[in-house]
């Protein structure tokens, strides 16, 4: 009998997250950030984490948002605040809305930060998820991002060798999942989820809706269930 | 004092940039003055907007009571749903940019050099920076236009011989539109092509660190 993918709670889905794990956090500017799972991670309290993410706090709250949303839901900044994070890898670690805690911990030397251009991060994750040995990108040529990277000249120009990124866990927020782990997204909420689902050894999705097989149009599935190991209900 | 003379409004700068966008082109607008550009596209032309938040053919900003957290642009602003939108993931968003499919990006800047180096991601005096997607846009878009104020808040020139801030891209800027002038970085140096009404080339030079090459057909700002 195959392993059941639907888990009862964030707590059970995150039970094997270990000290020093590398965690991918999908979402962009507050859009489809896996807040229940982040909150679950904060409650679980394992430390030494490396979090790879783009931008988890909303730049703007919708005027019509319910008032208690951000109060009860988790964020990467909350994990940093609780001292659970050793390192952040992100294009926007100091994004507005992230709060002062990231900058404060970084200034004090308690938190390591690696800033990676967004498109490079995307291709590094894809390389990790797709089994590539690395990828040559033109982004950053002639800038300080050249440091420590192999540069090669091609007919079309110069490019830097970027290394693949893989992770232990990937956390997603999705519009709907079936019980086999295939998922669909809503609007710009898709962002990092498909590539992060590929790059993580264990991908966990919090889904607004969970349906039986056949409940999603197979033509419309964006991330097939082979990339998603666990599903929890977002409500 | 030249520094105190009246300069063009941000909207006028945006209006001038709008003239540069090709009819039917795919365009990515950065934050600040670039965002305003979409308000000034001529009625007879069509521009398709790309946002690295994962939406193509996106529309105007949403009204306050219609904001949807699942429909945002790269600046985190809420968008109106419009017919013809298409959603995609971050890998595809940057493949569109890096693969040369985005015709023009309009970005803000802290500094631009005479040869078109762009610095727009980090102010060293603050020590922290957010690179976001700017470096990929600088390296990948077919054309990079900078829209910005000519000088910074302390009235220091932002158009310089060589950038002193960490750069985002080397030699990537093809046109600079400011509240004083339109300038074109070239291998020979910075060409002054247009000046704001009431401004002379000499006055613009006074607020520019890089030495200006005056275009033989120097014009007043053309809207």
The domain spanning residue B54 has which CATH number? Answer: 3.40.1080.10
Distance from CA of B221 to the nearest CA of A (A): 33
pLDDT score recorded for residue A71: 46
Between A39 and A2, the higher pLDDT residue: A39
Count other Cβ atoms within 10 Å, centred on residue A213: 11
Rounded to whole angstroms, the Cα distance separating B67 from B84 reads 19
Order of strands across the sheet that contains A151-154: A135-137, A157-162, A151-154
Cβ <8 Å between A119 and B135: yes
pLDDT score recorded for residue B124: 79
> pLDDT tens for residues A4-61?
999 999 999 999 999 999 999 999 888 899 999 999 999 999 999 999 998 776 656 6
Rounded to whole angstroms, the Cα distance separating A64 from B139 reads 38
Is A92 among the domain residues? yes
Choose among B134, B164, B166: nearest CA to B28: B134
Choose among A35, A52, A48, A27: nearest CA to A200: A52
The residue among A99, A188, A223 with the most chain B CBs within 10 A of its CB, best to mutate, is: A188
pLDDT score recorded for residue B129: 80
Question: Region A196-203: what's the mean pLDDT?
Answer: 98
Cβ <8 Å between A118 and B52: yes
- What is the domain-level CATH number for residue A45? 3.40.1080.10
Q: What is the residue range of B200's domain?
A: 2-220
**Number of separate domains in chain B:** 1
A32 touches chain B (CB under 8 A): yes
Helix axes B90-98, A118-130, angle to 10 degrees: 120
Cβ <8 Å between B64 and A63: yes
* B contacts of A142 (beta carbons < 8 Å): 117, 167, 169-171
Active-site residues of B: which are they? 52
Is A66 among the domain residues? no
Q: Could you give the 3-state DSSP secondary structure of residue A76?
A: helix
> pLDDT tens for residues B150-180?
999 999 999 999 999 999 999 999 999 999 9
Question: Region A153-177: what's the mean pLDDT?
Answer: 97
Question: Region A149-173: what's the mean pLDDT?
Answer: 97
User: Which residue reads 């607008």 in tokens?
Assistant: B29
Torsion sign over Cα B96, B98, B99, B104: positive
Contact B149, B181 (CB under 8 A): no
Question: Region B71-93: what's the mean pLDDT?
Answer: 93
Our measurement of the distance from residue B86's CA atom to the centroid of its chain's CA atoms, rounded to an integer in Å, reads 24
**Number of separate domains in chain A:** 1
Is A63 among the domain residues? no
Rounded to whole angstroms, the Cα distance separating A189 from B88 reads 9
Rounded to whole angstroms, the Cα distance separating B183 from A74 reads 47
pLDDT score recorded for residue A134: 97
Contact A180, A224 (CB under 8 A): no
DSSP classification of residue B166 = P
* CB nearest to A119's CB, from B55, B75, B136: B136
pLDDT score recorded for residue A101: 87
Rounded to whole angstroms, the Cα distance separating A204 from A198 reads 11
> pLDDT tens for residues B31-68?
889 999 998 988 888 999 999 999 999 888 888 888 98
Respond yes or no on whether ipTM tops 0.90: yes
| Backbone phi and psi for residue A143, each to the nearest 5 degrees, phi listed first | -115, 180
Is A131 among the domain residues? yes
> pLDDT tens for residues A72-131?
568 898 999 999 999 999 999 886 644 588 888 998 999 999 999 999 999 999 999 999
A179 touches chain B (CB under 8 A): no
The strand pairing partners of A178, in sequence order, are A211
Is A2 among the domain residues? no
Question: Region B4-28: what's the mean pLDDT?
Answer: 95
Contact A51, A74 (CB under 8 A): no
Cβ <8 Å between A138 and B166: no
A162 touches chain B (CB under 8 A): no
Distance from CA of B132 to the nearest CA of A (A): 5
Is A3 among the domain residues? no
A40 touches chain B (CB under 8 A): no
Is A5 among the domain residues? no
pLDDT score recorded for residue B200: 96
Contact A54, A76 (CB under 8 A): no
- The two counts, helices (H) then strands (E), for chain B are 5, 13
Distances (CA, A) of A35 to A38, A72, B31, B201: 5, 9, 27, 55
A136 touches chain B (CB under 8 A): no
Q: What is the residue range of A29's domain?
A: 10-58+72-233
* B contacts of A126 (beta carbons < 8 Å): 91
Q: What is the 3-state secondary structure (H, E, C) of A106-148?
A: HHCCCCEEEECCHHHHHHHHHHHHHCCCCEEECCCCCCHHHCC
pLDDT score recorded for residue A67: 46
> pLDDT tens for residues B88-144?
999 999 999 999 999 999 999 999 999 999 999 988 777 778 889 999 999 999 999
Our measurement of the distance from residue B3's CA atom to the centroid of its chain's CA atoms, rounded to an integer in Å, reads 23
């Amino acid at each position: 009998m195959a392993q059941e993918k639907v888990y009862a709670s964030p707590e059970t889905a995150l039970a094997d997250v270990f000290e020093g794990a590398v965690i991918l956090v999908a979402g962009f500017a507050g859009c489809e950030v896996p807040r229940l799972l982040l909150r679950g991670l904060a409650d679980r309290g394992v430390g030494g984490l490396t979090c790879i993410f783009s931008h988890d706090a909303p730049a703007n709250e919708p005027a019509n948002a319910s008032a208690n949303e951000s109060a009860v839901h988790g964020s990467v900044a909350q994990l940093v605040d609780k001292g659970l994070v050793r390192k952040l890898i992100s294009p926007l670690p100091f994004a507005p809305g992230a709060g002062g805690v990231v900058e404060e911990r970084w200034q004090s030397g308690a938190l390591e930060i690696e800033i990676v251009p967004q498109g490079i991060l995307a291709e590094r994750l894809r390389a990790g998820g797709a089994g590539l040995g690395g990828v040559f990108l033109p982004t950053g040529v002639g800038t300080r991002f050249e440091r420590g990277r192999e540069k090669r000249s091609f007919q079309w120009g110069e490019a830097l060798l970027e290394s693949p990124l893989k992770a232990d866990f990937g956390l997603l927020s999705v519009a709907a999942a079936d019980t086999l782990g295939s998922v669909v997204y809503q609007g710009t909420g898709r962002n990092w989820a498909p590539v992060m689902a590929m790059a993580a050894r264990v991908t966990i999705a919090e889904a607004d809706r969970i349906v039986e097989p056949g409940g999603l149009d197979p033509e419309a599935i964006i991330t097939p269930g082979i990339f998603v190991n666990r599903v929890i209900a977002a409500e | 004092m030249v520094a105190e003379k009246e300069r063009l409004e941000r909207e006028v700068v945006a209006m001038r940039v709008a003239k540069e966008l090709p009819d039917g082109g795919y365009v990515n607008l950065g934050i600040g003055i670039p965002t305003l550009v979409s308000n000034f596209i001529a009625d007879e032309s069509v521009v398709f907007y790309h946002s690295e938040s994962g939406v193509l053919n996106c529309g105007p900003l949403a009204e306050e009571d219609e904001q949807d957290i699942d429909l945002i642009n790269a600046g985190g602003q809420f968008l109106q749903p419009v017919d013809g939108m298409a959603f995609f993931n971050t890998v595809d968003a940057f493949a569109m940019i890096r693969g040369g499919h985005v015709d023009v990006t309009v970005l803000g800047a802290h500094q631009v050099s005479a040869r078109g180096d762009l610095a727009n991601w980090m102010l060293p005096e603050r020590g922290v920076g957010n690179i976001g997607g700017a470096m990929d846009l600088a390296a990948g878009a077919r054309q990079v236009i900078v829209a910005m104020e000519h000088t910074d808040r302390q009235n220091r020139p932002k158009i310089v011989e060589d950038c002193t801030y960490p750069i985002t891209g080397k030699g990537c800027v093809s046109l600079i539109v400011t509240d004083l002038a339109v300038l074109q970085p070239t291998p020979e140096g910075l060409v002054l092509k247009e000046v704001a009404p009431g401004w002379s080339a000499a006055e613009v030079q006074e607020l520019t660190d890089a030495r200006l090459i005056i275009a033989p057909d120097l014009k007043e700002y053309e809207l």
